[in-house]
Each structure stands twice: as structure tokens, then as C-alpha cells.
């Protein structure tokens, strides 16, 4: 499991764009400050994607207070926002991920597709 | 979250205002939008909300040195730049110079899955970052309601919007928030309940196939504002709102008089023509010579070295030039010398406001001393009566403020009472000259009279005027038994009067001759009498001499005989005394 924290996020994002990960996950989680909601979101993502992350998926957690310019670049309006950059298509999840059915389905579908491939 | 909250809205006696720089809007709002507070601009599609917001930012950046952030929810930066370029705003340049920052917020509802609690901190952070990075004083959120389409949880959204407006106030930026017009409320999602300081409503209506935009300040907390609906338009240099009341009635007046170009008409107006800066109405039915009198006025202005702007709504400039040439009025040299400019447009080309705005623009560009509108009636037909009157009021106010003399011609319909048909306009006019047709004796003749001329003595006579190949000639009035005589009746009356005068002259000459003759006769008589007298007195003298001689002789004889007879000496003296007496007479 690999989690990059805010400052290294840009570098990680660049490297991941340059080298598309076949079948691997790239998740970016944008949070605003170290609030309870942010912490909950981070925990939920890790919990849900544990298996994928174990297989080499990447989760970047970005604090937009630290890097406000990234909020603009990634079209962040609401926080927390989870952007599933890879596999395509790009999906966005907003909220603390308390209700995770949507995400679970997405993950399941992707997993199936990967198995089929 | 970071909050750098410089509270600029200091509590003073007057609400500090932030000038928009938009023509007319600052007059209506008494100086601009409330500084440091959000203003809601709402209206239907195509009302010009985005343009108003964009102009607010551009003017702020260019004229008032206040950088601005444009947060666009509907258009990308490139689209926005292209759209406002049509108004002559170089947004790209301003962005390059870091005067304006455009942040395009893209929300794709299909991409977003909501699960659980969230807030709009992302938006706040972006806005805060944008404001701080260029030191923005103005913020535009165009159209914030796009959030409602992208995000489903309305209760969160509402709470966050309330927080956003509070935050904007704390941040001390003057914000303009645009919103779609709702069916029953001002905005579709009820944003007006969050923005309570200033609400501006835009509207785009079609009346008689002519679309007009209107602006109304619905609410302006803590300030007086114009509450009416004001027409506004989007021209090629931005928005302009046309407030009727913006100028008021406190313009300067001049007592200088200017000639009309027709000496006899000047004479009718107290001998010196119209006041400078006054408004003159020239009404008449078709073919009474309104344009000719107007052109004469233009020529007179050119003779004084003044510029005239001629708005013609029925004839093309070339046609006017040709027609005036036929009466000996040459207008091309005036145009070449830059003393006369024509602006011709079909009245139906666009709405009343657009006409007014183009007229204002032309006037501002040419800086004329005299403006001629020929005819004003075709413009007034475009709108309703009150709109037309409002337009004339605005035009007159604008021109009077600049001491520009204005001549309006007005075409009246035959059959209407003249005074009635001009009732709306006449009260705005300082002078009113009426041109009329007189029919009779199988001919039609033109007359003019001064119906009103504020502040000057003027003739009350109805005068005939002739249009010949050397211009206009106001001729003397002849009053016959049935009123003013015109045309051939006038000519007949004139020759009658001439004949009568001739007869009187002849009679006088005859009388003079008679007297002369009588005098001569008397003189002759006198001289005859005198010669009679002369001859008689000569005769008398002769007789007297004779008598004297004979007496002397007699005396001598008597003396001789006395001496001879030795008569008494006393006797001899008496005849001598008698002869002395006679000689005296």
C-alpha cells in the first residue's frame, strides 16, 4: 500500500501521467484541512480500495489549503473529492464516502473488467 | 480555512459605493454598487447578465485600478474572451497583465457521484487563492446556479451559499453574482434570500417586433436609487443604461441668440432668432418646407462657424443635398469643411433606445453646436407614446446640458388638430413654429407662424413664405376681409393696394398743381393791382405837380395882379399855405 502525501502529490501525478499504469489504480483524494471529515474520507478510501492498493494502486491525498492551485487545476468544487483517474473513464466522488455503494459498484465493475482482460 | 478579512465596508454615514463605470448605471444607483458587498444580477437568458458582470470587472481594472476575479461556471476562459471582445474589451490583455483572473469552474453532473457529507471548501479555496494572487477587489460569480445543476444535495448547497456570501462580505470584495430569472421568484433557486444588499433585475422584452432590454434596481439597501425600469442596450463599447432622470433640470441657460438663416423669421422672433441651447419644434403637414427651414438653420450655423449634426430619418443625405441645391442652398461645401454631418438611419432599423444611444454617440463624437432631427415623429412612432416622450426628454436634457441648440421637425397628419397631436412633445419645447397649408382660390400656399417662443417677444402674425430658387422668403402679410391673404389673393390685394396708393399720389399731385395754379393766379392779380396802383399814383403825382404849377402860376399871377391892384399883403399869404399842404400829400 502506497500513499503519497500532499507535497509529493504533484510529482506523483506527473509520473503517473507519463507512465500509464496498465490495470492499476490511480486515485486522488482532495481534502480541505485536517478535519474529521477529511480523516474519515481518507480512511474510507483506504478501506474500500485496500485490495487494489495492495496490487500497486496509488492513492494521493492532497490538502487544497496547502496547494490551492491544484484545486483549480483539478476542478475541485466540493471537498472531499475523490477522483478516480485510472482506469478510465474518470470518475468523481464527492462527500465523506459514508454511503459507498456507488464506489463499491465502480470498483467491482473495474475489477471484473480487469479479470476479463 | 484561511481568512484574510480586511473589512473595507466601514460604517459611515453614507454607504461606500463602488463605481461600475457602466454608462448610466452609476447614475441610477447613485454612485455604483455597494462596496464590499455582493450584488445579485438576475434575468432571463440573453439579457446581458454576463456582459454586465464582465464590464464591471473590466471597467474596474482599467478605470478604477481594481483588479477582479471572474469565476465562470458556464463559459470557458477562451469563450468569455471572445464574447466580450465584441464589446471592445481586451480581456486577454488584462489577464496577461494580471488585472483580471478568470477561473472556469467546470461541473459535469454525469461524472460526479455523491456519497455522504461534503462542503464547497474547494470553491472557497479557489476563490480565495484567485483573489489573493492578484489582489482583487471585485469578484464576479457567473452563474452560481450552475452548482444546483451539478450538485444534488440542496440543503448542503444552500448552507454553503449562505456561507459564501458571508465570506465574500468578510473578504471585503465587491461581488456581482448572476442568476437565472425564476418563474415566480427573482431567481430560479432563490438566491435573492442570501444576497440582500442590492438586487438588479434585467429583462429583455419584445414589443411590436422590437426587442428592448430593461434594467431595474429592485433593491438597494441603505441607498436611494432610481426605482424605474430603464432601457439599456449593449453597444460596441459596452452597456449603456439610459436614465431619464439622470440629468435633471439644472442645466445652464444662455441668453445668447442665434439666427435662423431666414432674416424675416429672425425678425418675427424679436429680431434676433432663437436662444442658444433651446429646443425648437417645427411642425407641419407634408410638403410645408420643414426640411428646408432646418437646412437653412444649418447653413446659418455654418456661417457662424458652428457645427451641425443632421439626423435624418426619412431621406438619405444625398437626397437632402440635391433637394436643397434646387433652392440655392449648397450643403456639400459645409460637409467638406466639417461643419455639417449627416446621420441617416431608417427608424425601423432598431428600437428607440438603440437610436437614442447611437444619437448620443454621434453627438459625443462630433460635438455639434446645432442638432437637427428630421423628423422626430418617425422615431416616436417606434415606441409607445410615453416611451417616445421619454426619449425626447432624454435627448433634450442631454443636449441642453451641452448648450446645444436642437431643432426637431415634426410631421403632423392632415385632419388632426395640430396642438393635440403634439401635446406630448410641445411642453418640452422652448419654441414652436408651425408651418401650414392654406388652401383657397384654387391654390395651396404655405404660411408659418410662431406658436410659442419662451422668453422672447415674438410676432403673432401668420406669415406667408415662398420657396424659390434662391431660398426661403417670408413675405409681408396681407389681411383681407376673410383673414390672411396668401398666394394670388395676396398678389391681387397687393396690386389693389398699389393702385390705390398710385391714385392717392396722383390726387395729391393734382391738388398740389391746383394750389400752385391758384397761387400763380393770385400773384398775377396782385401784380396787376400793383401796376394799377403804380400807374394811378403816377397819375396822382402828375396831377399834383400840375396843380402845384398851376397854383404857383396862379399865385404869381394873383400876386402880380395884387401888386398891380395893390391888394392887402394878408390875402397874399393864404394861398401859399394851401399849396404847401397839398404838396405834402
* Per-residue pLDDT reduced to its tens digit, B499-552: 989 999 999 999 999 999 999 999 999 999 999 999 999 999 999 998 888 888
B561 or B130: whose pLDDT is higher? Answer: B130
Which pLDDT score, from 0 to 100, does residue B5 have?
A: 40
Directed axis angle between helix B121-134 and helix B154-171, to 10°?
20
What pLDDT does residue B127 have?
Answer: 92
| B576 vs B230, residue with greater confidence | B230
Percent of chain B with pLDDT over 90: 18
CATH H-level, domain B257-476: superfamily: P-loop containing nucleotide triphosphate hydrolases (3.40.50.300)
- Picking from B77, B113, B124 by the largest number of A CB atoms within 10 A of its own CB, the best residue to mutate is B113
Q: What backbone phi and psi angles, to 5 degrees, belong to B275?
A: -75, 145
- Kindly state the average pLDDT of the residues B235-253: 68
Q: Using 50, 70 and 90 to split pLDDT, how confident is the model at B353? A: confident
pLDDT in tens, A84-102: 887 777 778 888 776 666 5
Task: With beta carbons under 8 A apart, name residues in chain B contacting A64.
Answer: 121-122, 125
CA of B124 vs chain A CAs: smallest distance (Å): 8
Residue showing cell 398740389: B512
Of residues B190 and B415, the one with the higher pLDDT is: B190
Do the Cβ atoms of B122 and A30 come within 8 Å?
yes
Average pLDDT of span B222-230? 77
Higher pLDDT, B555 or A15: B555
What tens digit of pLDDT does each residue of B370-407 get?
Answer: 999 988 888 877 777 777 777 788 788 888 888 889 99
The pLDDT value given to residue B240:
80
Q: Is the pLDDT of residue B574 over 60?
A: no
Most confident residue range from A13-22, A47-56, B283-292, B508-517? B508-517
Q: What is the predicted pLDDT for the residue at B157?
A: 87
Answer yes or no: do A96 and B120 touch at CB < 8 A: no
Highest mean pLDDT: which range of B31-35, B150-154, B240-244: B31-35
Lowest mean pLDDT among B5-14, B149-158, B409-418: B5-14
- Beta strand B483-485 with A58-63 is unpaired
User: What average pLDDT is seen over chain B?
Assistant: 82
User: Residue B135: is the preceding peptide bond cis (ω within 30°)?
Assistant: no
Q: What is the pLDDT of residues B465-503, one digit of tens each?
A: 888 887 788 887 777 666 777 777 778 888 888 898 999
Count of domains for chain A: 1
> pLDDT band at residue A6, thresholds of 50, 70 and 90?
very low
Over residues B267-281, the mean pLDDT reads: 87
pLDDT over threshold 50, residue A44: yes
Is B369:B301 a contact under the CB 8 Å cutoff?
yes
For the record, the C-alpha cell of B283 comes out as: 411642425
| Cell numbers linked to B410 | 415634426
Give the least confident one: B43-52, B105-114, B158-167: B105-114
Identify residues of B whose CB sits under 8 angstroms from chain A CBs.
Answer: 1-2, 103, 105-108, 111-123, 125-126, 128-130, 147, 150-151
Q: What is the mean pLDDT of residues A3-13?
A: 46
Identify which of B2, B113, B118 has the shortest CB distance to residue A79. Answer: B118
Residue B1 has pLDDT above 50, yes or no: no
B5-14, B36-45, B51-60, B364-373, range with the lowest pLDDT = B5-14
Most confident of A4-8, B350-354, B580-584: B350-354
Which pLDDT belongs to residue B502? 92
Which chain B residue's Cα is nearest to A94? B114
pLDDT at A22: 55
**pTM assigned to the model:** 0.65
Q: Is residue B143 scored above 80 in pLDDT?
A: yes
- Rounded Cα distance, B199 and B216, in Å: 9
What's the domain range around A82? 2-116
Q: Which three cell numbers stand for residue B425?
A: 412633445
Q: Which residue has the cell 461643419?
A: B339
For residue range B110-127, list pLDDT tens digits in order.
Answer: 777 787 788 888 899 999
The Cα–Cα gap between B182 and B189 comes to 7
Paired strand residues for B43: B180, B202
Q: Quick one: closest CA in A to B144, which residue?
A: A77
Most confident of A43-47, A76-80, B205-209, B532-536: B532-536
With contact defined as beta carbons under 8 Å apart, do A110 and A87 qualify? yes
* Cell numbers linked to B146: 450552475
Q: Is CATH 3.40.50.300 what the domain over B35-108+118-201 is classified as, yes or no?
A: yes
**What is the grid cell recorded at B391?**
426619449
Of the pLDDT bands very low, low, confident and very high (cuts 50, 70, 90), residue A7 is very low
Counting one residue from chain A and one from chain B, the pairs whose CB atoms sit within 8 A come to 100
Q: What is the pLDDT of residue B424?
A: 64
Write the DSSP symbol of residue A80. S
Tell me if B125 and A75 make a contact (CB, 8 A cut-off). Answer: no
pLDDT of B89 strictly over 80: yes
Q: What is the mean pLDDT of chain A?
A: 72
Q: What is the CATH number of the domain that holds A30?
A: 3.40.30.10
Contact check, Cβ <8 Å, B129/A79: no
Tell me which chain B residues have a C-beta less than 8 angstroms from the C-beta of A81.
118, 122
Q: What is the pLDDT of residue A105?
A: 63
Does residue B248 carry a pLDDT above 60? no
Q: Which of B283, B286, B262, B258 is nearest to B272 (CA)?
A: B258
% pLDDT > 70, chain B:
89
**Confidence band of B183 (pLDDT split at 50, 70, 90):** confident
- Using an 8 Å CB-CB cutoff, list chain A residues near B105: 75, 77
ipTM of the complex: 0.77
Question: Is 90 exceeded by the pLDDT of residue B206?
Answer: no
Measure CB to CB from residue A95 to each of B116, B129, B130 and give the nearest one: B116
Q: Please give the pLDDT value at position A16.
A: 46
Contacts for A59 with CB less than 8 Å, ≥ 6 apart: A2, A3, A4, A25, A27, A28, A29, A45, A46, A49, A53
Q: What is the mean pLDDT of residues B55-81?
A: 90
CB contact under 8 A, B151 and A106: no
Instruction: Inspect the interface and report whether the beta carbons of A102 and B112 lie closer than 8 Å.
Output: no
pLDDT category of residue B345 using cuts at 50, 70 and 90: confident
Amino acid at each position: 500500500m502506497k500513499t503519497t502525501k500532499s507535497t509529493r502529490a504533484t510529482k506523483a501525478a506527473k509520473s503517473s501521467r507519463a507512465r500509464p499504469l496498465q490495470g492499476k489504480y490511480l486515485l486522488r483524494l482532495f481534502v480541505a484541512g485536517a478535519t474529521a471529515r477529511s480523516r474519515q474520507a481518507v480512511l474510507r478510501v483506504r478501506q474500500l480500495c485496500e485490495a487494489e492498493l495492495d496490487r500497486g494502486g496509488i492513492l494521493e491525498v492532497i490538502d487544497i489549503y496547502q496547494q490551492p492551485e491544484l484545486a483549480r487545476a483539478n476542478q475541485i468544487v466540493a471537498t472531499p473529492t475523490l477522483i478516480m483517474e485510472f482506469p478510465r473513464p474518470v470518475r468523481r466522488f464527492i462527500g465523506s464516502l459514508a454511503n459507498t455503494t456507488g464506489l463499491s459498484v465502480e470498483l467491482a465493475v473495474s475489477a471484473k473488467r480487469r479479470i476479463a482482460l | 480555512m484561511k481568512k484574510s478579512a480586511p473589512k473595507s465596508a466601514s460604517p459611515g454615514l453614507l454607504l461606500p459605493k463602488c463605481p461600475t463605470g457602466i454608462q448610466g448605471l452609476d447614475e441610477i444607483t447613485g454612485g455604483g454598487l455597494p462596496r464590499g458587498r455582493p450584488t445579485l444580477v438576475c434575468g432571463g437568458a440573453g439579457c446581458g447578465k454576463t456582459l454586465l458582470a464582465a464590464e464591471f470587472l473590466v471597467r474596474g481594472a482599467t478605470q478604477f485600478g481594481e483588479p477582479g476575479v471572474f469565476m465562470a461556471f458556464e463559459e470557458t476562459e477562451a469563450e468569455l474572451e471572445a464574447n466580450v471582445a465584441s464589446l471592445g474589451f481586451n480581456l486577454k490583455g488584462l489577464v496577461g497583465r494580471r488585472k483580471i483572473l478568470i477561473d472556469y469552474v467546470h461541473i459535469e453532473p454525469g461524472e460526479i457521484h455523491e456519497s455522504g457529507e461534503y462542503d464547497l471548501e474547494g470553491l472557497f479555496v479557489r476563490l480565495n487563492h484567485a483573489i489573493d494572487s492578484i489582489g482583487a477587489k471585485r469578484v464576479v460569480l457567473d452563474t452560481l446556479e450552475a452548482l444546483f445543476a451539478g450538485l444534488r444535495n440542496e440543503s448542503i448547497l444552500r448552507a454553503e451559499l449562505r456561507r459564501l456570501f458571508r465570506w465574500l462580505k468578510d473578504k471585503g470584495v465587491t461581488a456581482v453574482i448572476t442568476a437565472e430569472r425564476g418563474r415566480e421568484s427573482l431567481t430560479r433557486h432563490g438566491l435573492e434570500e442570501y444576497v440582500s444588499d442590492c438586487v438588479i433585475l434585467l429583462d429583455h422584452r419584445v414589443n411590436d417586433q422590437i426587442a428592448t432590454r430593461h434594467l431595474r434596481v429592485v433593491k438597494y439597501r441603505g441607498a436611494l436609487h432610481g426605482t424605474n425600469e430603464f432601457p439599456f442596450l449593449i453597444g460596441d463599447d459596452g452597456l449603456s443604461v439610459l436614465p431619464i432622470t439622470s440629468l435633471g433640470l439644472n442645466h445652464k441657460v444662455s441668453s445668447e441668440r442665434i439666427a435662423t438663416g431666414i432674416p424675416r423669421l429672425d425678425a418675427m422672433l424679436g429680431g434676433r432668432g432663437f436662444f442658444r441651447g433651446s429646443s425648437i419644434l417645427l411642425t407641419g403637414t407634408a410638403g410645408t418646407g420643414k426640411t428646408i427651414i432646418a437646412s437653412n438653420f444649418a447653413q446659418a450655423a455654418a456661417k457662424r462657424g458652428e457645427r451641425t449634426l443632421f439626423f435624418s430619418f426619412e431621406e438619405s443625405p444625398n437626397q437632402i443635398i440635391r433637394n436643397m441645391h434646387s433652392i440655392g442652398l449648397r450643403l456639400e461645401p459645409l460637409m467638406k469643411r466639417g461643419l455639417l454631418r449627416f446621420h441617416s438611419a431608417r427608424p425601423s432599423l432598431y428600437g428607440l433606445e438603440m437610436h437614442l444611444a447611437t444619437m448620443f454617440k454621434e453627438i459625443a463624437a462630433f460635438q455639434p453646436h446645432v442638432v437637427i432631427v428630421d423628423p422626430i415623429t418617425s422615431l416616436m412612432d417606434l415606441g409607445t407614446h410615453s416611451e417616445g416622450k421619454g426619449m425626447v426628454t432624454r435627448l433634450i436634457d442631454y443636449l441642453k446640458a451641452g448648450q446645444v441648440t436642437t431643432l426637431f421637425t415634426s410631421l403632423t397628419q392632415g385632419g388632426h388638430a395640430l396642438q393635440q397631436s403634439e401635446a406630448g412633445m410641445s411642453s418640452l419645447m422652448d419654441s414652436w413654429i408651425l408651418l401650414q397649408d392654406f388652401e383657397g382660390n384654387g391654390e395651396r400656399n404655405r404660411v408659418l407662424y410662431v406658436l410659442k417662443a419662451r422668453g422672447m417677444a415674438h410676432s403673432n402674425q401668420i406669415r406667408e413664405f415662398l420657396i424659390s430658387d434662391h431660398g426661403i422668403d417670408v413675405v409681408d402679410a396681407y389681411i383681407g376681409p376673410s383673414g390672411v391673404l396668401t398666394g394670388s389673393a395676396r398678389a391681387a390685394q397687393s396690386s389693389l393696394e398699389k393702385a390705390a396708393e398710385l391714385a392717392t399720389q396722383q390726387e395729391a399731385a393734382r391738388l398740389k398743381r391746383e394750389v400752385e395754379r391758384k397761387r400763380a393766379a393770385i400773384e398775377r392779380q396782385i401784380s396787376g393791382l400793383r401796376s394799377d396802383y403804380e400807374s394811378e399814383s403816377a397819375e396822382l403825382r402828375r396831377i399834383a405837380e400840375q396843380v402845384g404849377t398851376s397854383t404857383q402860376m396862379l399865385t404869381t399871377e394873383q400876386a402880380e395882379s395884387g401888386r398891380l391892384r395893390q391888394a392887402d399883403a394878408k390875402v397874399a399869404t393864404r394861398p401859399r399855405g394851401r399849396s404847401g399842404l397839398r404838396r405834402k400829400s
